[in-house]
Amino acid sequence: MSIAAISFFFVCGAVAIASALITVTQNNPIRAAFSLLAHIIALAGLFIGLQGHFLAVIQLIIYAGVVVVLFIFTIMYIGPVPKPESAGRPSFAKLFSIAGMVVVTGAVTYAALGYSPALKGLNTCPEAVAECGQFGGVEAFSAALFRGGVVPFELISILLTVAVVGAIMVARGRLIYREKPRRKKQELSIENNR
């Protein structure tokens, strides 16, 4: 790996960790959402470092573009009320989350060390092989999606149709029910019968 790639990795990694910490420690939800955005962009940078260009773009579009906007929209909708700083001893929730953080960090580190490629002899992709550069790229991804996996891809379109039609069906049922109050009587008589 070149010096530039290594420094890119470290910059992105530092930004990702720092912004993740800010996200969970901020009291102001808007600031937390924006540091989440910074974290997501840094993660996309890490994906680029791993040759996952397509994943990086998707990460930006879906998470930065959609999910964060949705979060901010929801926060605005509820009203950004910063929680007052709690004085005195730290709450149970805080202690619990710090303990959880330590446990997860320990577990991940242990797993990463225990299952490192060098130790387990897993097949990693050497950079000299042409397909390895392709892996995670747009071309490789679309070939997998539209050539090998075209059947599940098309089946998912029916799944999405079911979801949309079902949502409309359930929502429309309420409208119809409101328009016809006389059905209520019948419902009641059925309930009485029981």
Partner 1 sequence: MSPWLALSPLLVVGIGSLTVMMVDAFSNKKDDLSILSSAILIAAAAIAGSLWFGGLPPQTPEILAPYLAVDAMSQFFNITICGGAALCAMLAGGYLREHDLERGDFYSMLMLCAFGAMVLSSATDLVSVFIGLETMSLGVYCLVAFRRGSARAIEGAIKYFLLGSFAAAILLFGSALLYGATGHTDLLGIGQTIRNGNAELGLALVAMSMLVVGLAFKVSAVPFHMWTPDAYEGAITPATAFMSVVVKAAAFAVMLRVLITCFGDPLSAGAASGWPPIIAVVAVVTMIYGNIAAIYQSNIKRMLAYSSIAHAGYILIGVVAAFRVQNTAVSAVLYYLMAYTVSNVLAFGSLIVMGTRGKEAVTFDDLAGAGKRHPMAALPFIIGMLSLMGFPPTAGFFGKYYVFNAALQADSGMHWLVIIAVIASAIGAFYYLRVIVYLFMKDPETGAPQAVAMKSGYVVTALVLSAYFVLEMGITPSNYLKMALAAAAGLV
Residues that bind partner 1 (CB under 8 A): 149-152, 155-156, 158-159, 161-163, 165-166, 168-170, 172-174, 176-177, 180, 183-184, 186-187, 189-190, 193-194
Residues recorded for the chain: 194
Q: Which is nearer to partner 1, 102 or 169 (CB)?
A: 169
Q: Which DSSP helix (H) or strand (E) runs through 88?
A: none
Q: Which is nearer to partner 1, 89 or 147 (CB)?
A: 147
Q: Which is nearer to partner 1, 102 or 162 (CB)?
A: 162
Q: 56 near 137, Cβ under 8 Å?
A: no
Rg (Cα) of the chain, in Å, rounded?
Answer: 25
Q: How far is the CB of 108 from partner 1 (least distance, A)?
A: 17
Helix 29-49 × helix 68-78 angle, to 10°: 180
**CB atoms closer than 10 angstroms to residue 41:** 19
Q: How far is the CB of 168 from partner 1 (least distance, A)?
A: 7
